[in-house]
């Protein structure tokens, strides 16, 4: 019988990082070691999410059991603390955050760590040259429903004289040296991009415990009639925003079909589908969320860098390039439209028409 093709030359993330390092003339290896620490945190979080899922299944017969209570049922109940957004902090959020903090500290390469779960930036002693921004478990409120959640991250190279002050990491996305996200779905899927580089997808092989390069040089389709937005916020949108979504739901041109709607409510899952299939993802700033809901540093900018390096675009609600926005503080927010190049251009064209009118 046909034996399954034996892959004897697989490219692991570890090998990929070594090859990337050799391309950099003055590489010291610090960035590579930081990325190894990052991949270890993704493997650890993937393990705990999978275990939580199993625990949830085994305990379903006993009582409703929130996935966030990672360990044994005795730990029922929320962690009791709440994060910067004020929503209840679930056990898994806490564990994902703690894993990330401990692994980044242990790397010895990080000076400043910003996490959605931490009000203040964490400053590590030592001479780390990098700042890491992250949302350890984004979308966790959906976890109980089996929706894919993920870790979103970005890496900045700090100035040599950086003292470890929060304002030193309030940088535009154009300064990111690397960014990406790991989606914890059927398998853990890492999407990683480096400054000026392309976008590469790695799948965690649980047997090997290695991320394997499965999606080299991911390119987002130039256009696709899919839109991804929470239409429950329509009543809060400004006129230009409404006009844009009206234009794709009720196309003027009779031979144009209306767009399909796809919205999961977990940014990593919506972003990954948008990267793979094309279309537009939006979380507009509106009357309810004046600066938008998503965070610039560890949600909008890393995702914008992935979309741009894959051939797409990302803009704010006032149609500025997302990557050029400088956050006013580490948890600053922005409206965002991101995805296929032509689709984002359509948004900007409609907004331009509205700006002319108003």
Binding track, positions 290-329, relative to ligand P6P; x by CB under 6 A: ---x------------------------------------
Where does this chain touch ligand P6P (CB under 6 A) — which range of 44-52, 154-162, 218-226, 265-273? 265-273
- What sign results for the dihedral spanned by CA atoms 198, 272, 153, 318? positive
Cα 160–Cα 165–Cα 166 angle in degrees, nearest 5: 120
Pairwise CA distance, residues 344 & 221, whole Å: 12
Compute the least distance from the CB of residue 300 to ligand P6P, in Å.
Answer: 11
Binding track, positions 124-153, relative to ligand P6P; x by CB under 6 A: --------------xx-x------------
| 117 counts as binding ligand P6P under rule CB under 6 A | no
Pairwise CA distance, residues 290 & 287, whole Å: 5
Could you say which of 169, 267, 305, 330 contacts ligand P6P (CB under 6 A)?
A: 267
Could you say which of 108, 166, 265, 311 contacts ligand P6P (CB under 6 A)?
A: 265
Element (H, E) at 112: strand 110-115
Compute the least distance from the CB of residue 161 to ligand P6P, in Å.
Answer: 35
| 96 counts as binding ligand P6P under rule CB under 6 A | no
Binding track, positions 276-295, relative to ligand P6P; x by CB under 6 A: -----------------x--
Considering only CA atoms, which of 281, 293, 306, 302 is closest in space to residue 334? 293
Question: Pairing relation of β-strands 110-115 and 122-123?
Answer: antiparallel
Burial class (CB in 10 A: 0-12, 13-18, 19+), 86: exposed
Compute the least distance from the CB of residue 323 to ligand P6P, in Å.
Answer: 19
Q: Is 134 helix (H, G, I), strand (E, B) or coil?
A: strand
| 230 counts as binding ligand P6P under rule CB under 6 A | yes
| 274 counts as binding ligand P6P under rule CB under 6 A | no
Compute the least distance from the CB of residue 117 to ligand P6P, in Å.
Answer: 12
Nearest 10 degrees: CA dihedral of 340, 341, 347, 348?
160
- Tokens representing residue 295 in the block: 């965070």
Q: What is the binding site for ligand P6P (CB under 6 A)?
A: 138-139, 141, 230, 265-267, 270, 293
């Amino acid at each position: 019988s046909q034996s399954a093709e034996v892959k004897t030359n697989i490219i692991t993330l570890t090998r990929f990082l070594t090859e990337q390092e050799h391309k950099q003339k003055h590489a010291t290896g610090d960035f590579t070691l930081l990325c190894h620490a990052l991949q270890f945190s993704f493997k650890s979080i993937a393990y705990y999410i999978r275990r939580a899922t199993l625990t949830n299944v085994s305990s379903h017969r006993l009582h409703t059991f929130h996935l966030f209570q990672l360990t044994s049922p005795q730990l029922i109940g929320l962690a009791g603390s709440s994060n910067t957004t004020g929503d209840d902090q679930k056990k898994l959020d806490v564990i994902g955050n703690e894993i990330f903090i401990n692994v980044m500290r242990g790397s010895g390469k990080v000076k400043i760590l910003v996490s959605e779960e931490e009000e203040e930036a964490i400053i590590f002693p030592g001479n780390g040259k990098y700042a890491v921004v992250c949302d350890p478990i984004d979308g966790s409120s959906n976890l109980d429903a089996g929706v894919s959640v993920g870790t979103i991250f970005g890496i900045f190279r700090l100035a040599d004289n950086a003292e470890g002050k929060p304002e030193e990491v309030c940088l535009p996305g154009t300064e990111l040296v690397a960014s990406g996200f790991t989606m914890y779905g059927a398998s853990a899927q890492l999407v990683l991009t480096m400054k000026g580089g392309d976008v590469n997808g790695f799948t965690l092989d649980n047997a090997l415990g290695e991320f394997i390069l499965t999606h080299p040089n991911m390119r987002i389709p130039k256009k696709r009639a899919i839109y991804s937005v929470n239409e429950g916020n329509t009543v809060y949108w400004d006129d230009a925003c409404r006009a844009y979504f009206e234009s794709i739901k009720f196309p003027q041109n009779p031979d144009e079909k209306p767009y399909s709607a796809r919205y999961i409510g977990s940014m990593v899952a919506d972003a990954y589908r948008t990267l793979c299939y094309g279309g537009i993802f939006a979380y507009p700033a509106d009357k309810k969320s004046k600066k938008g809901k998503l965070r610039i540093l560890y949600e909008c900018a890393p995702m914008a860098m992935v979309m741009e390096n894959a051939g797409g675009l990302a803009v704010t609600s006032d149609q500025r390039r997302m990557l050029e926005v400088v956050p006013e503080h580490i948890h600053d927010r922005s409206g965002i439209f991101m995805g296929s190049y032509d689709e984002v251009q359509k948004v900007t064209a409609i907004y331009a028409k509205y700006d002319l009118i108003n």
